[in-house]
């Protein structure tokens, strides 16, 4: 069972209190984008075996969205952080590098 600490309310939330929101840090292609760029945004997602950045919503708790860095193989959680950011914070990247030295973004 996955448990994530919600950075908005500080609660250690059980997976069943959370709603998954898919991959984090996607850049949506705007109306001027080429078909290829929009296709890449819409359909061509990474499906990593290992470190993954994801969006979650504390649906049964404070209701806020947040981000989590998780290993898709072991379910190890490297950290959670507020959603008001375009990239993972340095301390989360640091935690990942400590546990997965070979990992590259």
**66 forms bridges with which residues in the sheet?**
56, 82
**With CB under 8 A as the contact rule, which of the stretches 6-14, 22-30, 48-56, 93-101 interacts with other proteins?**
6-14
Closer CB to other proteins, residue 48 or residue 63?
63
Residues 6+ apart with CB under 8 A from 39: none
Task: Figure out which of the listed residues 21, 50, 61, 89 binds other proteins, where binding follows CB under 8 A.
Answer: 61
What is the rounded CA–CA span in Å between residue 53 and residue 78?
10
Task: Figure out which of the listed residues 2, 5, 8, 29 binds other proteins, where binding follows CB under 8 A.
Answer: 8
Task: Figure out which of the listed residues 62, 77, 93, 95 binds other proteins, where binding follows CB under 8 A.
Answer: 62
Kindly give the residue spans of alpha helices, DSSP state H, lying in the chain: 35-42, 90-99
User: Does residue 23 belong to the site contacting other proteins (CB under 8 A)?
Assistant: no
User: Does residue 20 belong to the site contacting other proteins (CB under 8 A)?
Assistant: no
Tally of CB atoms within 10 A around 3: 13
């Amino acid at each position: 069972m996955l448990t994530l600490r919600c950075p908005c309310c500080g609660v250690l939330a059980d997976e069943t209190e959370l709603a998954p929101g898919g991959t984090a840090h996607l850049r949506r292609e705007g109306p001027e984008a080429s078909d290829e760029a929009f296709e890449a945004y819409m359909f061509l997602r990474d499906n990593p075996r290992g470190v993954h950045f994801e969006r979650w919503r504390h649906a049964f708790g404070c209701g806020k969205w947040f981000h989590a860095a998780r290993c898709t193989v072991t379910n190890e959680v490297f950290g959670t952080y507020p959603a008001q950011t375009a990239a993972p914070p340095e301390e989360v990247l640091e935690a990942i590098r400590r546990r997965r030295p070979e990992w590259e973004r």
